[in-house]
Structure 1
């Protein structure tokens, strides 16, 4: 029962759309109807600027950090903690408060991965920053992070195999959410950072 409550609480926390709330606060309207239409930090950057985007990024990452931290504090296995984080990601992507139309869960996934295994996340994050700096494709960097971090968890054996597999499933969920971005990347018409 406690695990079920943890998962439900993680989903409800994840369902809070900070990009929606902050954009509304700036009286710009519904973030899902502006810019790229995605309820996340990158679209917040496009619509209302750097400061709000950084705030959204941090708050969305916190949605992934908190459930994992709570689960580990309660001495649940790491895989349970990652599943709790996964529930927050599901909440972000399909939020109950906003008609189940949310973002792609990148920042929340970053929060989960950092809590689950810091050094693989750090290495992947540094590489992703370089990729985004060189290409200006945030989506490409996000996709690389989602695959590379779980792979590095396997390589470094920083987490149990079942936890790394769960992280990989979460990464694949994010890649699936990026399927339209992948199509645009392949077709050469994906929007670059700053466009």
Structure 2
């Protein structure tokens, strides 16, 4: 019984990784004749799609990427897995997005997929991240700043609310990965050279 449950959980993590690895940004851009990895930041994510192709395609990619994280969580819950494994499936989806086998184990920065995971795990924490992220983007016109502060808000709220340790670990881990993925952006923000919303790329 224990072995079968473990195999089911591990299979769910693998499937979650594969769900997360579907590179919507890259495939959508390719259908428009654009190699998203060769324009702008080179990331396969909604922000780079917005700069290269516009708001419409970017919204489609963002919605799909959010759904990947949420779907991994919903799948794990539907299988009746313990909450710790549910959280791990969400993390696996984010890792799949960031390091997709379809893109040579490269990808995006995991903002939308992390949000989908966190919002599905704990809607209250997700709302805090969303509000802070959108407010910051509106004020600064920097997607990266909104992403980072939205992640920080999620980390603060999940601890402040005294959520279970496994959930704190998942959220803090995802935020740490998000910050790591944004190292170049942080440098450009500090230097005043970060691109703003609405700027196009060649």
TM-score by length of 1: 0.95
Partner of residue 8, structure 2: 2
Compare 54-63 and 143-152 and name the one that shifted more. 143-152
Q: Residue 166 of structure 1 aligns to a residue in which SS?
A: helix
TM-superposed deviation, 1:86 = 0.7
Partner of residue 75, structure 2: 70
| Equivalent of 1:40 in 45, 55, 61 | 45
Partner of residue 151, structure 1: 156
**Within 5 A, what are the aligned runs for 1:97-116?**
97-116=102-121
Partner of residue 188, structure 2: 184
Paired with 1:167 and 1:82, the residues of 2 have a C-alpha distance of 9
Contact kept? 2:128, 2:150, Cα under 8 Å? no
| Equivalent of 2:26 in 3, 20, 31 | 20
Alignment root-mean-square deviation, CA: 1.1
Paired with 1:121 and 1:167, the residues of 2 have a C-alpha distance of 10
Paired with 2:134 and 2:167, the residues of 1 have a C-alpha distance of 25
The one-character-per-residue Cα deviations of 1:36-63 (angstroms, maximum 9, x if unpaired) are 2111001100111111100000001111
The one-character-per-residue Cα deviations of 1:43-90 (angstroms, maximum 9, x if unpaired) are 100111111100000001111011111112222232211111111111
Q: Residue 109 of structure 1 aligns to a residue in which SS?
A: helix
Partner of residue 130, structure 2: 125
Which runs of 5 or more structure 2 residues have no equivalent in the other structure? Answer: 1-6
TM-superposed deviation, 1:34 = 1.0
TM-score by length of 2: 0.92
Contact kept? 1:78, 1:116, Cα under 8 Å? no
Q: Does 1:93 align with 2:126?
A: no
4+ runs of 1 displaced by more than 4 Å?
none
TM-superposed deviation, 1:117 = 0.7
The one-character-per-residue Cα deviations of 1:133-162 (angstroms, maximum 9, x if unpaired) are 0100100110112222132012123x3122
TM-superposed deviation, 1:187 = 1.1
Which runs of 5 or more structure 1 residues have no equivalent in the other structure? Answer: none
